[in-house]
Amino acid sequence: MYKVHVVENGVQATDTVNMLQTEGFEKDSIYLFAHDKDRTEDLTEATGLGEMGIKEQGLVDSVGNMFKSRGDELRNKFEALGLSSNEASQYEVELDKGRLVLVASDEVK
């Protein structure tokens, strides 16, 4: 099962993380995405959330992401968390608009 929330900024992201935790999701199974890698890293660190790594993506996809465009990398990460390719594309468009996407997943593929 997964839940996805689109938010505008770090304050809303923090509020959403707190809400997801009250729903039973652990912080290390909530992932924050921004189109800019530095923004993703900064907000992930500030909120204490999980980071996408080999465990979530698998070795091949994790290494392959180093050679993909940022959009392809983000869609790949969304799919690794259980989203369909259509959903992944939809949320990548939200990132293009400067929004943040939070994905809480209790079943990493």
Per-residue pLDDT 10s for the chain (109 aa) are: 889 999 999 999 999 999 999 999 998 889 999 998 888 888 888 888 866 544 444 444 444 445 456 778 888 889 888 899 999 999 999 999 999 999 998 765 4
So what's the pLDDT on residue 62? 44
CB atoms within 10 A of CB 4: 18
So what's the pLDDT on residue 68? 54
Beta strands 100-105; 2-7: pairing state:
antiparallel
What is the SS3 assignment for 97?
A: coil
What gap in Å lies between CA 12 and CA 101, rounded to an integer?
A: 11
Q: Are the C-beta atoms of residues 82 and 4 closer than 8 Å to each other?
A: no
- Give the position of tokens 């924050």: 32
Element (H, E) at 82: none
From 56, 96, 99, 95, select the one nearest 79 (Cα to Cα): 56
So what's the pLDDT on residue 1? 81
So what's the pLDDT on residue 40? 85
- Annotated domain spans of the chain: 22-105
CB atoms within 10 A of CB 75: 21
